[in-house]
């Protein structure tokens, strides 16, 4: 996988999806891929962030993580998106970033990108699957190739068994309920494997 480039593009307000992104990066690095982790720009007003201690602490802790740019999409052979659910949909921050990619799409720069997605929510039935599927809808418009984990490894069952992408429930204190680290790494490696096939077939 040494010649496969993976961008992990995330949004996280309190750290869960940042951790998922880091695990994905670790899994990709184990496969030898060139990887970058970038966050989409924050849109929430400063007052909202300052009034939430966990949010404020996470923003400070990740101040040095580079912000995602459209160049990251063009650079990547594969992209893993990670974002929490907001009422069963993508958070505005991630949706806004995707909406800026119209120029890339119009010029065919999103075609055959290999993509996968992860998410989190406070409840296991709080919209996790729908959030991933809503992101994939945009990817179909991109002409991207969606890679879901399905049930391709036993580690997925212990993580909750979401076939669309790794998802995790988070308790009131911000702790992950399911053990998803192995599932995230498997998803990253599977995404890279398909990206390698696509890259080999188009060279």
Relative to beta strand 5-10, strand 34-39 is parallel
Alpha-carbon span 90 to 76, nearest angstrom: 22
DSSP 3-state of 44: coil
Q: What is the pLDDT of residue 172?
A: 87
Give Dmax (Cα) for the chain: 51
pLDDT exceeds 80 at position 1: no
3-state helix, strand, coil in the chain (%, to 5): 45, 20, 40
pLDDT exceeds 90 at position 144: yes
Residues of the chain with pLDDT > 90, as a percent, come to 92
Q: Rounded to the nearest 10 degrees, what angle do helices 128-142 and 92-99 cross at?
A: 0
Q: What is the pLDDT of residue 52?
A: 93
pLDDT exceeds 90 at position 166: yes
pLDDT digits (tens, 9 = 90+) for 57-75: 999 999 999 999 999 999 9
pLDDT digits (tens, 9 = 90+) for 72-126: 999 999 999 999 999 999 999 999 999 999 999 999 999 999 999 999 999 888 8
> What mean pLDDT, rounded, does the chain reach?
95
Relative to beta strand 114-121, strand 78-84 is parallel
- Please give the torsion angle defined by the CA atoms of residues 18, 93, 101 and 202, in that order, rounded to the nearest 10 degrees: 20
pLDDT exceeds 80 at position 203: no
Question: What band does 173 get if pLDDT is binned at 50, 70 and 90?
Answer: confident
- pTM for the whole structure: 0.96
What the chain holds in terms of domains, given with CATH numbers, is 5-202 (3.40.50.360)
* DSSP character at residue 165: S
Q: What is the pLDDT of residue 125?
A: 86
pLDDT, mean of residues 15-44: 96
């Amino acid at each position: 996988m040494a010649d496969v480039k993976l961008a992990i593009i995330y949004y996280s307000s309190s750290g869960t999806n940042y951790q998922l992104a880091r695990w994905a990066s670790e899994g990709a690095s184990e496969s030898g891929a060139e990887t970058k982790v970038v966050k989409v720009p924050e849109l929430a007003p400063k007052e909202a962030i300052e009034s939430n201690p966990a949010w404020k602490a996470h923003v400070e802790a990740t101040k040095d993580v580079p912000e995602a740019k459209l160049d990251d999409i063009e650079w990547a052979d594969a992209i893993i998106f990670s974002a929490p659910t907001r009422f069963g949909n993508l958070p505005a921050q991630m949706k806004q970033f995707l909406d800026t990619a119209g120029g890339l799409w119009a010029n065919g720069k999103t075609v055959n990108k290999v993509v996968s997605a992860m998410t989190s929510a406070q409840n296991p039935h709080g919209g996790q699957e729908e959030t991933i599927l809503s992101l994939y809808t945009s990817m179909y418009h991109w002409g991207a190739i969606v890679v879901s984990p399905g049930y391709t490894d036993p580690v997925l069952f212990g993580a909750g068994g979401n076939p669309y992408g790794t998802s995790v429930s988070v308790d009131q204190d911000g702790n992950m309920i399911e053990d998803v680290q192995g599932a995230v790494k498997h998803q990253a490696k599977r995404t890279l494997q398909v990206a390698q096939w696509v890259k080999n077939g188009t060279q």
